[in-house]
Amino acid sequence: MNLNRLRTDRDYLFSVIIGAVTAVIAGIMIWNGLTWLWNWFSVAGGESSEWLAIWEFCKTNLSILIVIYGLMSLQASGLAELKYGKNFLKAFGLALILTPPVMMVVYGHKKE
């Protein structure tokens, strides 16, 4: 955080304050979500094998996992496009096929 800028730039100041409040609320929500997930996993894992519980969880929430993967690929390809000047569509396609980290390694970082 730039303290000097906080004093001079009102936009920066307001956004930092609002951002901090947002982060606190989001933090609480993420914590609650992780606690729920942990509890669910403990109960489900207790009934059968842990791997089976994870597999069941993935099967039940496949659509959500797929969209999270899609969003991660989108963000990675955005980074490749805006930071390294790469072709967005190519980066996005590679991220979807190879996973985002592999795309960043093989395509995302290279300078042309």
Residues that bind another protein (CB under 8 A): 10-12, 14-15, 18-19, 21-22, 25-26, 29, 61, 63-64, 66-67, 70-71, 74-75, 77-78, 81-82, 85, 87-89, 92
Beta carbon of residue 16, minimum distance to another protein (angstroms, whole number): 8
CB of 29 to another protein, least distance (A): 6
From the CB of 105, what's the least distance to another protein, in Å? Answer: 19
Q: Which amino acid is at 61?
A: N
CA–CA gap between residue 87 and residue 5 (Å, rounded):
35
Euclidean distance between CA atoms 55 and 53, whole angstroms = 5
Closer to another protein by CB, 8 or 63: give it. Answer: 63
HSE-CB for 61 with a 13 A CA cutoff? 11
For the CB of residue 68, give the shortest distance to another protein in the complex, in Å: 8
Of residues 22 and 49, the one with the C-beta less far from another protein? 22
Tokens of 100: 């985002």
Residue with Cβ nearer another protein (50 or 109): 109
Helix (H) or strand (E) holding 76: helix 62-84
10 Å Cβ neighbour count for 31? 10
